[in-house]
Amino acid sequence: MAKVGIVMGSDSDLPVMAKAADILEELGISYEITVISAHREPDVFFEYAKGAEKKGFKVIIAGAGMAAHLPGMCAAIFPMPVIGVPMHTTSLGGRDSLYSIVQMPSGIPVATVAINGGANAGLLAAKILATSDPALLERLKAYSGKLKDQVVEKDQKLQQEGYRAYLENMKK
């Protein structure tokens, strides 16, 4: 049974939302990923959000661009946490999406990550689930340790090569 629902308004959002799926996979969290338009197929969306709890979802990650109603509408129907991922847009650079998701009315909260922040949405979902899953908490700690090790390795390389050589190697 999937613990996290990943939903997006368009398949053009998939490259960003796939980053959430990648994180969940790495941490051993089951998920279901789907494309549903709250505007173009409201009946299908309503059934998705209404049935998410019964499916076993504990968190929904919802990505949307422009008017970005999908995360807020999920939060209006689904009784557990919803994480909104604002998508970058060509007209306003994603600020329209960000404002639409973050400016929810009182009583309908949506946790919101950065524009195109799919990976952080996956991590936030994992952290929410880890509050009641000690094994997942340990996997999250190991993930954080891996990130730290990567930074240490990069600094060691920088110190060995010097910044000019390091920059040149980054361009390759």
Mean of per-residue pLDDT scores for the chain: 96
Check pLDDT > 80 for residue 1: no
pLDDT band at residue 2 under the 50/70/90 scheme: confident
Give me the helix-helix angle, 70-77 and 95-102, nearest 10°. Answer: 10
Mean pLDDT, residues 53-72: 96
* Residue 131, phi then psi, degrees to nearest 5: -65, -20
Q: What is the mean pLDDT of residues 80-90?
A: 97
String of DSSP letters for 9-23:
SSGGGHHHHHHHHHH
- Share above pLDDT 70 across residues of the chain, in percent, rounded to a whole number: 100
Q: What single-letter amino acid sits at 126?
A: A
Give φ, ψ of 46 to 5 degrees.
-60, -45
| Amino acid of residue 162 | G
**Over 78-122, what HEC string results?**
CCCCEEEEECCCCCCCCHHHHHHHHCCCCCCCCEECCCCCHHHHH
Give the per-residue pLDDT at 91: 87
Q: Is the pLDDT of residue 147 over 80?
A: yes
| Contact predicate 107/97, CB 8 Å | no
CATH code for the part of the protein at 4-132: 3.40.50.1970
Q: Tokens for 69? A: 């109603």
Contacts of 9 (CB under 8 A, 6+ apart): 35, 36, 37, 38, 39, 63, 64, 65, 68, 70
| Cβ neighbours of residue 171 closer than 8 Å, sequence gap 6 or more | none
Phi and psi at 146, nearest 5°, equal -65, -40
What average pLDDT does range 31-46 have in this prediction? Answer: 95
Q: What is the mean pLDDT of residues 157-170?
A: 94
d(CA 162, CA 78): 52
pTM: 0.94
Q: Is the pLDDT of residue 19 over 80?
A: yes
109-136, pLDDT tens digit by residue?
Answer: 999 999 999 999 999 999 999 999 999 9
Does 172 score more than 90 pLDDT?
no
